[in-house]
Structure 1
Amino acid sequence: MNEVELRAEADAVLAQLVGDPGGSARLREDQWQAVAALVKERRRALVVQRTGWGKSAVYFVATALLRRRGAGPTVIVSPLLALMRNQVEAAERAGIRARTINSANPEEWNAIHEEVERGETDVLLVSPERLNSVDFRDQLLPKLAVTTGLLVVDEAHCISDWGHDFRPDYRRLRAMLADLAPGVPVLATTATANARVTADVAEQLGTGSGEALVLRGPLDRESLRLGVVRLPDAAHRLAWLAEHLDELPGSGIIYTLTVAAAEEASAYLRGRGFPVASYTGRTENADRLQAEDDLLANRVKALVATSALGMGFDKPDLGFVLHLGSPSSPIAYYQQVGRAGRGVEHADVLLLPGKEDEAIWRYFADTAFPPEAQVRQTLSALADAGRPLSVPALEAMVDLRRSRLETMLKVLDVDGAVKRVKGGWTATGAEWVYDAERYAWVARQRSAEQQAMRDYVGASGCRMEFLRRQLDDEGASPCGRCDNCAGAWADSSVSTTSLSSATKELDRPGVEVEPRRMWPTGMPALGVELKGRIPAGEQCSTGRALGRLSDIGWGNRLRPLLAENAPDGPVPADVLQAAVAVLADWARSPGGWAPDVPDAAPRPVGVVAVPSLTRPQLVSSLAQGIATVGRLPLLGALTYTGSDGAHAAPRSNSAQRLRALSGAFSVSEELAGALSATPGPVLLVDDYTDSGWTLAVAARLLRRAGSGQVLPLVLAATG
């Protein structure tokens, strides 16, 4: 078949894909160049094109043409469930049988494996995490490497640890690329890769197959109108949303930096009558599906989302993207705003930065590669074990939080130093070098991205040009549309009524603090004889905090008070007043102890404080204030008996945190006597809770000393 006939066939597939019964749809020249490279030349190609360019059309058209010519199934590595669902639906329109393997459908995996082996599946979409799932890696991946007709790596910037969204699982693709049969085409696509990331990904694509073809186009989005609205505080931003959300075109996405902020903002807007839904990593899968469907069908004005809805969500008529808080990277920001205006002429993009943004960046910055000593400690623990170790078992041996430990293991796996097997992880014994220079460079890149985001907010020049230059787009030039080019177009005014309502909402304190119910794995190996479920009679009860450090209400008030370098002092009057309000609401809640509560619980008989090494005045004055206002006796405080710093290891994992706390407190004879003299529930007061283990240890001691329920009341909860 000559090139003219092949292109006609490709255009016919495209017409099916886009639902064009008249068959008038045509691939653009740049799209056809990519398709021809894959189907005719069987090349490896990297396509860097703006969101909405039509990258999925390239690989679905190429799939149909390759399958007709006897090629095996296409494997698409795709990062997010929302993206997978969109792609499956798009494939079906073109008569392409697509299936997906991801964390949301484990009950279907066996059936899908069988369909792939029988040749009944044209496209298999997998999440990058599946690439290192033991069963998938050992059983299905080798077969796919032999039979794959086309490998597609979507959001390919994730391959590179120079990219803004580095995922170690993506780097396993390098091994899969090397194992592909000769002549199997590979397509990598992304809308957000600067020159360095582009070169890095292209180099990895060329592994064992010569130089990869790079097709890079201009990244301007002519439909987007960018702007920044600078407001004094979180209350003004919520009030602005309530007053101006209806002015934004169509339906859209409101991004927040934290789960707490997404839930706060969506609850506030729903209370003001707006049809919105929250979408975060904490949202149940069924609720995510419903939220996506509601947005696609314009049944909601907006989804209030974290980066869980970051890449790939496909709604061509999305009318706006608004950020309630500034992301830490202009590249990530451009990725998210690219959801808007893909199929409409005009879409509005607004950033509402907050004073708390940088504090939140710092809080979530605990992702740098660990120091070499901790890495070597992990490798030694695995080598000495003589058997696979699970992550919980490793936590007892390595002082790293679980998420950071898991990421480190994935990096070591890609580097060949460890391997994931049934039952956990093992050391391979292969020589491994700590690349301190590379890790330091990545950290500097992250810092540079944060500075660029500050510069974007304060920029006086074209905002679209600024973002395009961050992506090394050679054609970057003034857009003529943004607020700096054409003048401010978003009204920043907020009425007194709306501001009062938002302030009242954010000033309402009180979140639940869930207790620990299980001891961490591996404690006996650390010399701490605690394991399994915490006995009911020694557990802490569900407690209360004024707010979370990550929220935009009380979080903004509490972060400066609890900052590492904040001076100690008596609890501020407004904070004490809020704690009393939380206590009053708690008493009136189901299961509370107010007289008018049905089946009321026994009223607390006293207050006990957790001793603080860093904020003794704050905690003691809080406990005294609660006792005075609540007309309860201050029974005393636990006695601190630990070594210096044992009570101050907030970023450790659970096992290490509990080991540090074991033996750090005791109940004095005076406190034990007070508990015996006034038996019943006690309020346990502390400044904040992070891991929950301080409260768990304290509650166990108090209950063993004769107290009733232990009810924690803290100023702040993390997360």
Structure 2
Amino acid sequence: MTESAVASSGTETAAALRERAETALRSLVDREDARLREDQWTAIEALVAGRRRALVVERTGWGKSAVYFVATMLLRGGAAGRPPAGPTVIISPLLALMRDQINAAARAGIRAVTINSSNVTEWDGVHAAIAAGEVDVLLCSPERLNNPAFRDEVLPSLAASAGLVVVDEAHCISDWGHDFRPDYRRIRTLLGDLPAGIPVLATTATANARVSTDVAEQLGVGRHDEDVLVLRGSLDRPSLHLGVLGLPDQPSRIAWLGQQLARYAGSGIIYTLTVSAAQQVTEQLRAAGHDVRAYTGQTDTAEREQLEADLKDNRVKALVATSALGMGFDKPDLAFVIHLGAPSSPIAYYQQVGRAGRGVDRADVVLLPGREDQDIWDYFGSLAFPPEHAVREALAALAAGGTMSTARLETQVDLRRNRLETMLKVLDVDGAVRRVRGGWEATGREWVYDGERYARVAAAREAEQQAMLAYERLDGAGCRMAYLRAQLDDPELEPGWRCGRCDLCGGLSLDASVDVGAVQQARAAMDRPGIEVTPRRQWPTGMEALGLDLRGKIADAERAEDGRALARLDGLGWSVPLRELFEPAHGTGAPTPDDPGAEPAPDAAPAPTAGPVEAAHGRDGLLPAALQRPVQQVLEEWAPSLRRGDGSAGVDGVVVLASAARPELVTHLARGVAHILRAPVVGEVAPDPDRPAGRHDVNSAQRLAGIQRRLRLRLSEAALAGLPGRTVVLVDDYTDSGWTLAVAARLLRQAGAAAVHPFVLAQR
């Protein structure tokens, strides 16, 4: 951005500074009539002229980002009689939030960059630009604060020269915040080490009085000579029309939602509590003719960006999303937010519904609670900090074994990967372990298990869950917006106030009637084996830096077609025997940590032992008897939609994705698929034995690079000669990231295949 000249020999008057702030705001929002709110100006003046620390708690859409961007423009240009300041560092929790912030900054001429897990290949260039003074704003995730290279080589000099430090979604700093993340606790140390005179701003829309007090205390660490400025405003959202509708089961909720979507003029977000639910609901709504897409923490970064753009431009009716689409996502005309299942606290709920109605007069917000919600909350609660003996076991393993990767340490302790990683982050903040290149190491420092603190956080979460249930049970004497404002300790809430807009105040009418046929159809879909496997559509960013010419959209001529899987590993019904097959060491009932499909799973229906594939048991071996009939059913229902190159129904051949872990299972499954589809097995796609297997605990670009360099097409000369124009089914045991299927399909398409349809037993 251009630095304006302000004389450093004198003191700029408050009036002159405010005029420049108003000018900066108009540039930021591209509106000549834009004016700062009084609280916005108070915060900006405190940061720029007073170099103070401030906490701003204001509703979504109030303009918190305008405070730190305007302050940045003033500080970088020289303000209040001081020379130009260094870059602003914004600690931001979500990639979607960072993308919106970077776009907003660019419109105002602010040079903003980001360092996060999705752009590893760009880090060196970003570091160089920071060192050269070419960056006005650096956005980084709290997790980056503990990346060894960033923490040791970049952060110290950056913190010392920063012009402003911003902690976005600052409620996460607090143990009492609804979205506690261990790495946010590291910010306290960062703030305590900042040189004097560097202003700090913390912002959030979802902090009650207890959280606000806690955050303000942490902002003030190391600054006993000055108070933290705390600004809290009204949390009413006049455009939101809140309502709760109790329906008997998930099929009824899906059917109601399918009816309701057609009645909305605009687009919106449908929130679910788990990744599995988001994917299943998406499939059912798409089957009913609605243009919706799934958006979860497992969605690749490039795909997320495309989905966000599709929603903003109303190219889809809705995104069916987990909380991965939340803080910071900005679509002013979002017409509705519907929850299939309740978040575990009113504070979390308020934050998510805050996506709606930011630039329109009305947005409907509907909660469809489920009886399984409590089970899901309990599951997430089970991922809390492990008991002391498990922690001591991990510390002992690190002390004895030296530096260990998470994957290696996982073999030494009785903890699943997700819970282990969270524990290590907490121990790192506490100083007991340290993250280094290659993994983790014990520091040797004495560590005390803070059982009192963990119990306090657990009790707070239990109280929040009860408050959420109370919100669902409000009767006509209450008001939903008033209840949420009270939960957030809104300082401007007056006794007896009612919004006049919710279902209890007469401003929203919800019809509970649902078409019986639609309910039956939804229930049958949940019980039927088979789910759609959607192919990758976009290469991840940064592949060029890894030596691969893969960028942008995957060409239609090189992409897989839609495929099928029997079920998800963390879903309902047929997921139970699949988990027994793929994860026998962990039992049958536990959802995978990254995607807790915590709804009660019905027992799989017994399958006959006769059929084209034979029964067997164990991690590798022939396909178990319980899975024979559902596999056959999925293939027979899918077959009519498969077309040969000449347009006739059918498949020309089956290709095996060779497996190192379960070679007998995959080979036997492929033969069974070939038998059912009446097509020969014509070859395989297999890993190059001279290349080592790639790691799974890496980002999407690095994982793709490993797969791309390792997979090879192995077809006979006759099969290769006959491949052009043919349709093949590609068979594997399960799909996780989707890159193995994408690369294998690309090899087949490049060799001439007209269409490649994946078939797998399970999707993670």
Report TM bin, short chain: 0.7 to 0.9
The answer as to 2:72 corresponding to 1:56 is no
Q: 1:535 is matched with which residue?
A: none
Q: Any idea what the Cα deviations from partners look like across 1:59-101, whole Å, max 9, x if unmatched?
A: 0000000011110000001111111111111111211111111
The answer as to 2:117 corresponding to 1:91 is no
Q: In 2, distance between residues paired with 1:375 and 1:578?
A: 39
> Residue 394 of structure 2 aligns to which amino acid in structure 1?
T
Q: Any idea what the Cα deviations from partners look like across 1:140-183, whole Å, max 9, x if unmatched?
A: 00111111000000001111122110111111111211221211
Alignment of 1:409-488 (within 5 A): 409-460=424-475, 461-476=478-493, 477-486=497-506, 488=508
* Alpha carbons of structure 1 residues 509 and 199: separation in structure 2 relative to 1, 3 Å: same
* Alpha carbons of structure 1 residues 470 and 16: separation in structure 2 relative to 1, 3 Å: same
Q: 1:4 is matched with which residue?
A: 15
Note the C-alpha offset of 1:6: 0.6
Q: 1:527 is matched with which residue?
A: none
Alignment of 1:151-166 (within 5 A): 151-166=165-180
Q: Any idea what the Cα deviations from partners look like across 1:195-253, whole Å, max 9, x if unmatched?
A: 22111111111011233111111211111110011111111111111111122342111
Q: In 2, distance between residues paired with 1:577 and 1:373?
A: 38
Q: Secondary structure at the match of 1:486?
A: coil
The answer as to 2:86 corresponding to 1:72 is yes
The answer as to 2:256 corresponding to 1:221 is no
Pick the aligned partner of 1:353 from 369, 374, 383: 369
Q: Secondary structure at the match of 1:314?
A: coil
Q: Any idea what the Cα deviations from partners look like across 1:636-676, whole Å, max 9, x if unmatched?
A: xxxxxxxxxxxxxxxxxx9xxxxxxxxxxxxxxxxxxxxxx
* Alpha carbons of structure 1 residues 199 and 506: separation in structure 2 relative to 1, 3 Å: same
The answer as to 2:333 corresponding to 1:317 is yes
Q: In 2, distance between residues paired with 1:430 and 1:570?
A: 48
Q: Secondary structure at the match of 1:420?
A: strand
- Taking structure 2 as the reference length, the TM-score comes to 0.70
Q: In 1, distance between residues paired with 2:119 and 2:575?
A: 36
Q: Secondary structure at the match of 1:114?
A: helix
> Residue 232 of structure 1 aligns to which amino acid in structure 2?
P
Q: Could you tell which deviates more after superposition, 352-361 or 469-478?
A: 469-478
Pick the aligned partner of 1:112 from 117, 126, 129: 126
The answer as to 2:212 corresponding to 1:201 is no
Q: 1:521 is matched with which residue?
A: none
Q: Any idea what the Cα deviations from partners look like across 1:7-41, whole Å, max 9, x if unmatched?
A: 01000000011111x3x211010111110110011
Q: Secondary structure at the match of 1:350?
A: strand
Alignment of 1:662-673 (within 5 A): none
Alignment of 1:40-55 (within 5 A): 40-55=49-64
Q: In 1, distance between residues paired with 2:22 and 2:258?
A: 46
Q: 2:36 is matched with which residue?
A: 27
Q: Secondary structure at the match of 2:472?
A: helix
Note the C-alpha offset of 1:489: 1.0
Q: In 1, distance between residues paired with 2:603 and 2:207?
A: 50
Alignment of 1:236-635 (within 5 A): 236-385=252-401, 387-460=402-475, 461-476=478-493, 477-486=497-506, 488-510=508-530, 549-551=570-572, 580-586=629-635, 598-599=652-653
CA contact (8 A) 2:232 2:491 kept: no
Pick the aligned partner of 1:36 from 45, 54, 60: 45
Identity %: 60
Structure 1: tracts of 5 or more residues without a match: 514-541, 603-629, 631-653, 655-688, 692-711
CA contact (8 A) 1:249 1:347 kept: no
Q: Any idea what the Cα deviations from partners look like across 1:98-156, whole Å, max 9, x if unmatched?
A: 11111121121111111111111100111111111011001100111111000000001
* Alpha carbons of structure 1 residues 398 and 46: separation in structure 2 relative to 1, 3 Å: same
CA contact (8 A) 1:253 1:321 kept: yes
The answer as to 2:27 corresponding to 1:13 is no
The answer as to 2:139 corresponding to 1:139 is no
* Alpha carbons of structure 1 residues 276 and 545: separation in structure 2 relative to 1, 3 Å: closer
Q: In 1, distance between residues paired with 2:205 and 2:57?
A: 5
* Alpha carbons of structure 1 residues 451 and 251: separation in structure 2 relative to 1, 3 Å: same
Q: Any idea what the Cα deviations from partners look like across 1:458-515, whole Å, max 9, x if unmatched?
A: 11121111112222224333212111121651222222343333233223223599xx
Q: Secondary structure at the match of 2:391?
A: helix
- Taking structure 1 as the reference length, the TM-score comes to 0.74
* Alpha carbons of structure 1 residues 140 and 597: separation in structure 2 relative to 1, 3 Å: same
Q: 2:143 is matched with which residue?
A: 129
Note the C-alpha offset of 1:48: 0.8
> Residue 244 of structure 1 aligns to which amino acid in structure 2?
Q
State the aligned residue count: 578
Q: In 1, distance between residues paired with 2:574 and 2:256?
A: 19
CA contact (8 A) 1:229 1:351 kept: yes
Q: In 2, distance between residues paired with 1:555 and 1:219?
A: 42
Q: In 1, distance between residues paired with 2:435 and 2:575?
A: 39
CA contact (8 A) 1:148 1:180 kept: no
CA contact (8 A) 1:277 1:303 kept: yes
Note the C-alpha offset of 1:599: 4.4
Q: In 2, distance between residues paired with 1:571 and 1:276?
A: 29
CA contact (8 A) 1:48 1:217 kept: yes
Q: Secondary structure at the match of 1:247?
A: coil
Q: Could you tell which deviates more after superposition, 208-217 or 46-55?
A: 208-217
CA contact (8 A) 1:249 1:348 kept: no
